[in-house]
Amino acid sequence: MTIAARQFEGLRPQAIKTAYARLSKYYDVLFGPLLRPARLAAVKRVNALPGTEVLEVGVGTGLALPHYSAGKRIVGIDMSADMLAKARLRAARLPNVRAVLEMDAQATNFADGQFDIAVAMFVASVVPDPRALLAEMRRVVKPGGSVLFVNHFAGETGVPEWWRRATEAVSRRVGWRADFRMRDIFKAGDLAGSSVVPMPPLGLFDLVELRN
């Protein structure tokens, strides 16, 4: 287990599944509108990238799925069966969604280089080992492809008190880490040649795009 992973002890897979089983009923109402601008901006970027094969990790209830362009072929994975049940209802109406699968994003069954693009929206600060997530996304994306994250990243000076308070209850319920930092997932050098773009609302989220 990496140093970053040790910091996330407590967010065990079973705890995540239990949390999201409860949350799946309300997720779209609670987190649909709040995260929508950053979610749509990430999908817009995916649509603009070359390549057709897209992996969305932590697809949740599938809120992003209707927004991919027809030319992209999407596979969505998540470890919560309850969130996926909702995603499957959405996917049934979307011919460009190839599959929605129950899988741990840190250790998938996909072949090396199977995808052109992998994207994780609001997932990196939930998984037990964010660096394992990054390594797995890099493995399944072909060389030259793209790996994207949308997440809240705390600044190097720490978390503003107002943000900590605002997210405390939510963080406990959804397994989010309000104090999740870039260095919890990226090692020195990972961000070379990448772009980091602040996202609405209020630049609370960043879209990080890595060339594989």
Ligand X SMILES: C[S@@+](CC[C@H](N)C(=O)[O-])C[C@H]1O[C@@H](n2cnc3c(N)ncnc32)[C@H](O)[C@@H]1O
Residues that bind ligand X (CB under 6 A): 16, 20, 31, 35, 39, 57-60, 63-64, 77-80, 83, 104-106, 121-123, 126-127, 174
107 or 144, CB closer to ligand X? 107
98 or 173, CB closer to ligand X? 173
Q: How would DSSP label each residue in 146-169?
A: EEEEEE--BBTTB--HHHHHHHHH
63 or 210, CB closer to ligand X? 63
| Least distance (Å) between residue 77 CB and ligand X | 6
> How far apart (Å, rounded) are the C-alpha atoms in residues 19 and 175?
8
**Residue 75 phi, psi dihedral angles, 5° rounding:** -115, 130
| Least distance (Å) between residue 9 CB and ligand X | 14
137 or 182, CB closer to ligand X? 137
Burial class (CB in 10 A: 0-12, 13-18, 19+), 10: exposed
| Least distance (Å) between residue 194 CB and ligand X | 20
| Least distance (Å) between residue 13 CB and ligand X | 6
The residues, any chain, with a CB within 8 Å of residue 174's CB and separated by 6 or more, are: 19, 20, 23, 126
| Least distance (Å) between residue 155 CB and ligand X | 21
**Maximum CA pair distance of the chain?**
45
The separation between the first and the last C-alpha atoms of the chain, rounded to the nearest angstrom, is 23
186 or 205, CB closer to ligand X? 205
| Least distance (Å) between residue 79 CB and ligand X | 4
Which residue's CB atom is positioned nearest to ligand X? 60
Burial class (CB in 10 A: 0-12, 13-18, 19+), 110: middle
Q: Are strands 141-151 and 195-199 parallel, antiparallel or unpaired?
A: unpaired
176 or 186, CB closer to ligand X? 176
